Amino acid sequence: MSYFSRPVTTRVGDDYLNCPMDEPATTPSMTRLLAAEKVQPKESKDRPTSKVVFPIEVMANVATETMQFGPLKPVGLENPKTGERAYAVVQLRTETPIAPVTISWDSRLN
């Protein structure tokens, strides 16, 4: 069950849609992520390639547990209806009412 929450830093608005996952749901997701087709980024002067932000598939390749301590870290995201903390959380931010975009990571997925 997904739920909206406020950003931890500002506590203003309910801009984040949280999609919690338990461990049995996370494992197949990581397997699909690692098997997905990837592209090599092309660096240009208009959009330089980041040397600091690691794509999600690179982090998952180190160890799938890396995700629970990085972009899928559920700290401060207790489910408001149950009070439970998920094993992992995909967080989306609503840019427009109909077009949420992921904010937790970069990717080279095709």
Contact between 109 and 38 under an 8 Å Cβ cutoff? The reply is yes
Reported as type and span, the H/E element at residue 96 is: strand 88-96
- Over residues 78-90, the mean pLDDT reads 85
DSSP 2-34: -EEE--TTT--S--EEEEEE-HHHHHHHHHHHH
Q: Which of 45-54, 60-69, 81-90 has the highest mean pLDDT?
A: 81-90
Q: List the one residue out of 51, 84, 56 whose CA is nearest residue 68.
A: 56
- pLDDT exceeds cutoff 60 at 45: yes
Given a cut of 80, whether residue 5 has pLDDT beyond it is no
- Encoding tokens for residue 100? 């949420």
